[in-house]
Amino acid sequence: MIFKTTLASTAMAASLLMSGSALAQTIGFSQVGSEGDWRPAFSQNMRETAEDYGVDLKFANAQGKQEEQLRAVRAFIAQGVDAIVVAPVVVTGWESVLQEAKDAEIPVFLVDRDVEVSDKSLYVTRISADFNLEGKLAGAWLAAESVGTCKIVELQGTTGSAPAIERKGGFEAVIDQFPAMEIVATQSGDFTTEGGKKVMEAFIKSTNNLEGICASFAHNDNMQLGAIQAMKEAGLKPGEDVLMVSVDYVPAIEDALEAGDANASVELRSAVGKFIYPVILDYLEEPKELDKWIVIPSDLHTQ
Ligand code: AHR
């Protein structure tokens, strides 16, 4: 199901708030961390829109560690919150804690990232962009731009995370259709600017200054921004010598696109509280079976 903002639930939340008759719902949100520029923007939006919907948001920052997330979810269960929202750091290791939430009759909603569980009834739904599609959009743009001939270096996101797995999968599904397109080097930069810079420095060394490399595909903009720095320090011209395509479309990559240092970025919307809270509040009002995935659209931006 592709998400359409439900005007009914938005209006309902607004009118309940104005009449003062709404009992605030308490929602515990376990966030991945604060890496890069996209994630803090997402956290801020979740906080601000919680106020708009009259939600009492309990926010826990896991600093990129799954153990912290498991601790936070267990704390939310002990507090007896009305619902739990998780943006999971990695896809594995969720069965037990989700079962504990289910046993406590607290509905769990996944946002942003996915989990791999054999029993999908452990969560109500996932509300997120389609990371595989983002990879496909990046791959299709690059195939068109390079006319199907391109040696690529890839900067991967956090190992074991849904966006790293799915963006890579989508990108490869497209480039595999072009015999002269191939990923010649790939490494994780953990979704950070520093990580991206280090990885690109290593690629520059291992490929004799990116000789014969036509493109850099980064699973997020921050790693690409780090890669841009590394390339400039090595006397290369990102955006000209090498095509630069990434994901998120944060303000700093918009500047890089305008300056000609980057060529394309697939937008991952960060202002998504307006999509997430209505789904949760409607569900708490009247629990029902939902589609297991509510998709937020993605768009490609170029220079
Ligand atoms: O899960 C989404 C990814 O996580 C974003 O693309 C990245 O910037 C973040 O860290």
Q: Name the pTM for this structure.
A: 0.93
Beta bridge partners of 188: 156
Q: How far is CA 67 from the centre of its chain?
A: 20
* pLDDT tier, 220 (very low <50, low <70, confident <90, very high otherwise): very high
pLDDT surpassing 60 at residue 225? yes
Which pLDDT belongs to residue 1? 52
Q: What is the mean pLDDT of residues 139-155?
A: 98
Q: What is the mean pLDDT of residues 22-49?
A: 95
Tens of pLDDT, residues 97-117: 999 999 999 999 999 999 999
Check if 4-129+269-302 and 131-267 are the same fold.
Answer: yes
Any atom of ligand 1 within 6 Å of the Cβ of 268 = yes
Atom of ligand 1 nearest to the CA of 35: 10
Any atom of ligand 1 within 6 Å of the Cβ of 129 = no
Domain ranges of the chain: 4-129+269-302, 131-267
Q: Supply 293's token pair.
A: 């995935």
- Classify domain 131-267 at the CATH class level: alpha beta
Q: What is the mean pLDDT of residues 73-80?
A: 98
Q: What is the mean pLDDT of residues 57-64?
A: 98
pLDDT surpassing 80 at residue 289? yes
Any atom of ligand 1 within 6 Å of the Cβ of 163 = yes
pLDDT surpassing 50 at residue 6? no
pLDDT surpassing 70 at residue 21? no
* pLDDT tier, 19 (very low <50, low <70, confident <90, very high otherwise): very low
Tens of pLDDT, residues 82-97: 999 999 999 999 999 9
Tens of pLDDT, residues 130-146: 999 999 999 999 999 99
Which pLDDT belongs to residue 148? 98
Which pLDDT belongs to residue 136? 98
**Pairing state of beta strands 215-218 and 149-156?**
parallel
User: Separation of 38 CA from ligand 1 center, angstroms?
Assistant: 7
Q: Does domain 4-129+269-302 have CATH number 3.40.50.720?
A: no
Any atom of ligand 1 within 6 Å of the Cβ of 150 = no
Which residue CA neighbors atom 5 of ligand 1 most closely? 220
Tens of pLDDT, residues 163-191: 999 999 999 999 999 999 999 999 999 99
Distances (CA, A) of 7 to 19, 86, 189, 278, 292: 18, 24, 40, 9, 21
